[in-house]
DNA sequence: TAGTGGTCTAGACCACGTT
DNA sequence: ACGTGGTCTAGACCACTAG
């Protein structure tokens, strides 16, 4: 078998890449191209095995890893599906804020304050891999649980990938922002890195979140990535953690 | 094959447990019993396959999952080893605090303030699965990076499992606390859950961490577990996040 | 050279969901 | 009944480490 040869570059200490990794890369490429959209099913393991001229087991191992990374979701008896931010189970996948008491019964509700097109600052451009001349979209919003304002988010998006995004569309939308990005712009966030700090609430934020100036807030700086580790969003959140906490599992 | 029969209970909707899961449970049991100690190698896949009367592939799948959960570490050509908190790569595995600037060059140094035996409070007893009459060990310490005090930890341990722990031993020890727990008490922490909040520094803590009272601190409430999800530690940390942050990867 | 984990295959059968 | 993913097997060969 193995139509796909091990790496063509025969450099000394040639990088060895197992077949299933190559299959994995091909699958990620197809995902990024949009061959299968979020929520849809991908071809069956046997079909993919035939397409790539490998055994079912090899395809299986590739899919296993992609499922472990939450790019795909396996459903026994039904098929394998492209992960989406729309489904109930995984909505707000990246939001780790939980109520101290109950299991987060109160539904999140967002109010959008601002949506503007700007030149990328140096910091933003560097992280999003843009040039200084490129434009970014800047968004500001408040998330409330029940009626209590809890999170102030500032968001930066690369202008090219999110053409036509306006505050009207944001206000009309409901449900998770990442789901909206999927269906409206074909951008599926797959992974994110966060850096957390405790900071004091400044005067403007105090007004927006309805807390005293100086109140300790949890500052969450996030960079989100699509397929292939392409950075597509910067987000800075300020969380009021009086009745909520950020949960995290370590292993 | 399959000496180990599928579940003996034939209740309606009988719980189906695949062979490799059963093997996995047997391996975890052996780990908990201390058949193989942290840092040691476990038997080869073929040996285990012979022992359990299954194929190598089934053992492999069990080990794969345990490696993914960081209970075991695979090393090609050498063997499979019991994970330990001692090795350089994984030391301070559960400490997510990083320097804002460099890659955490400064070495962590701990000063132990207190180590006392107490009756378990109701909250502590509930989480550690103790009775109210059981004793717990309470520890307080300060961690510094370079010379800057950065973390104030309060720790509660079940008294039974940590008999003989004293402040002298803590002060004599260096390196990570979890490594010390391994070698001195045979308790290997494997997983932890954390809840984070931003809080204001109180007067006493201000003195200890050398910051102004009211400074925002990152409060990290952790519960750590050994093999088999047995809770073995409660830890409340207060982090000064002026020059450090808590990093987290989401997927 | 021998032993370990890592990859790949081919085929059988099971569990689940749909038709 | 059929098609999907899930489990299990047996065997071949590869890559890495060590003596």
Footprint of strand D on the protein (CB under 7 A): A 6, 16, 42, 44-47, 57, 60, 74-80; B 1-2, 18-21, 54-58, 61, 75-78
Q: What is the rounded average pLDDT of the residues B176-196?
A: 97
Distance CA B84, CA B202 (A): 36
CATH number at residue A242: 3.40.1410.10
Model confidence at B14: pLDDT above 60? no
Alpha-carbon distances of B94 from B85, B91, B194, rounded to whole Å = 10, 8, 10
Q: A77 CB near a chain B CB, below 8 Å?
A: no
Distance CA B233, CA B222 (A): 8
Same domain, A185 and A225: yes
Provide the phi-psi class of A242: left if phi over 0, else alpha when psi is between -120 and 50, else beta: alpha
Same domain, A56 and A116: no
Local confidence band at A103 (pLDDT 50, 70, 90 cut-offs): low
Residues of B in contact with A176 (CB under 8 A): none
Distance CA A183, CA A185 (A): 6
Bases of chain C with protein Cβ within 7 A:
3-11, 15-18
CATH number at residue A47: 1.10.10.10
Looking at the domain assignment, is residue B237 inside a domain? yes
Local confidence band at B54 (pLDDT 50, 70, 90 cut-offs): very high
Q: What is the rounded average pLDDT of the residues A8-27?
A: 75
- Give the pairing type, strands B216-226 and B230-239: antiparallel
Looking at the domain assignment, is residue B217 inside a domain? yes
Looking at the domain assignment, is residue B47 inside a domain? yes
Looking at the domain assignment, is residue B131 inside a domain? yes
Looking at the domain assignment, is residue B13 inside a domain? no
Q: What is the rounded average pLDDT of the residues B68-86?
A: 97
Model confidence at B8: pLDDT above 60? no
Distance of CA A245 to the CA centre of its chain: 21
- The answer to whether the Cα torsion of B181, B185, B188, B191 is positive or negative is negative
pLDDT score, position A106: 63
Same domain, A116 and A235: yes
Q: What is the rounded average pLDDT of the residues B214-236?
A: 98
pLDDT score, position B88: 75
Q: B93 CB near a chain A CB, below 8 Å?
A: yes
Final residue before a domain boundary, out of B82, B110, B137: B82
Domain count, chain A: 2
Looking at the domain assignment, is residue B8 inside a domain? no
pTM, full prediction = 0.92
Looking at the domain assignment, is residue B45 inside a domain? yes
Local confidence band at B4 (pLDDT 50, 70, 90 cut-offs): very low
Contact between residue B47 and residue B79 where contact means Cβ atoms under 8 Å apart: no
Same domain, A138 and A203: yes
Same domain, B67 and B168: no
Distance CA A248, CA B237 (A): 14
Which of B217, B239, B251 is nearest residue A69 as measured by Cβ atoms? Answer: B251
Local confidence band at A90 (pLDDT 50, 70, 90 cut-offs): confident
Local confidence band at B12 (pLDDT 50, 70, 90 cut-offs): very low
Model confidence at B47: pLDDT above 90? yes
- The answer to whether the Cα torsion of A204, A209, A214, A218 is positive or negative is negative
B198 contacts A241? CB cut-off 8 A = yes
Domain assignment of residue B237, given as a range: 97-246
The helix/strand/coil state of A250 is strand
Distance CA B147, CA B107 (A): 9
Local confidence band at A80 (pLDDT 50, 70, 90 cut-offs): very high
Looking at the domain assignment, is residue B7 inside a domain? no
Q: A195 CB near a chain B CB, below 8 Å?
A: yes
Same domain, A135 and A68: no
The helix/strand/coil state of A8 is coil
For A73, the token pair is 């979701």
A197 contacts B251? CB cut-off 8 A = no
A251 contacts B70? CB cut-off 8 A = yes
Model confidence at A163: pLDDT above 90? yes
Q: Which of B232, B13, B54 has its CA nearest to residue B26?
A: B54
* Chain B 201-220, residues with CB within 8 Å of chain A CB atoms: 214-219
pLDDT score, position B11: 38
Residues of A in contact with B197 (CB under 8 A): 218, 241, 245-246
The nucleotide whose C1' lies nearest the CA of B3 is D8
Local confidence band at A105 (pLDDT 50, 70, 90 cut-offs): low
Residues of A in contact with B28 (CB under 8 A): none
Same domain, B121 and B214: yes
* Element holding B238 (H helix, E strand): strand B230-239
Q: Which of A204, A190, A205, A203 has its CA nearest to residue A239?
A: A205
Q: Which of A216, A247, A104, A236 has its CA nearest to residue B220?
A: A247
Distance CA A31, CA A186 (A): 11
Number of Cα atoms under 13 Å in the Cβ half of residue B106: 19
Same domain, A45 and A121: no
Same domain, B30 and B112: no
For B6, the token pair is 């599928």
The end-to-end CA distance of chain B, in Å, is: 38
Same domain, A32 and A59: yes
pLDDT score, position A9: 34
Which of A98, A192, A239 is nearest residue B250 as measured by Cβ atoms? Answer: A192
Contact between residue B199 and residue A198 where contact means Cβ atoms under 8 Å apart: yes
Distance CA B241, CA B95 (A): 13
Same domain, B158 and B241: yes
Q: A230 CB near a chain B CB, below 8 Å?
A: no
Same domain, A120 and A41: no
**For residue A115, what are the β-bridge partners?**
A139
Contact between residue A141 and residue A110 where contact means Cβ atoms under 8 Å apart: yes
């Amino acid at each position: 078998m193995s139509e796909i040869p091990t790496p063509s570059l025969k450099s000394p200490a040639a990088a060895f890449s197992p077949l299933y990794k190559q299959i994995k890369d091909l699958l990620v490429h197809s995902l990024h191209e949009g061959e299968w959209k979020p929520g849809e099913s991908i071809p069956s393991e046997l079909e993919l095995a035939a397409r790539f001229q490998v055994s079912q087991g090899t395809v299986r191992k590739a899919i296993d890893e992609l499922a472990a990374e939450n790019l795909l979701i396996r459903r026994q008896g039904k098929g394998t599906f492209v992960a989406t931010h729309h489904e109930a189970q995984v909505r707000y996948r990246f939001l780790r804020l939980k109520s101290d008491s109950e299991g987060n019964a109160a539904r999140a509700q967002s109010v959008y304050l601002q949506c503007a097109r700007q030149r990328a600052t140096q910091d933003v451009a560097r992280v999003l891999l843009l040039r200084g001349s490129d434009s970014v979209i800047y968004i500001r919003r408040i998330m409330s649980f029940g009626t209590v304002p809890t999170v102030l988010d500032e968001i930066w998006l690369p202008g090219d990938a999110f053409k036509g995004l306006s505050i009207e569309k944001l206000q009309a939308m409901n449900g998770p922002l990442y789901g909206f990005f999927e269906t409206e712009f074909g951008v599926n966030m797959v992974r994110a890195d966060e850096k957390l700090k405790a900071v004091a609430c400044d005067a403007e934020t105090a007004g927006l979140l309805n807390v005293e100036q100086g109140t300790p807030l949890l500052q969450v700086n996030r960079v989100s990535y699509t397929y292939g580790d392409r950075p597509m969003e910067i987000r800075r959140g300020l969380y009021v953690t009086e009745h909520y906490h950020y949960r995290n599992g370590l292993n």
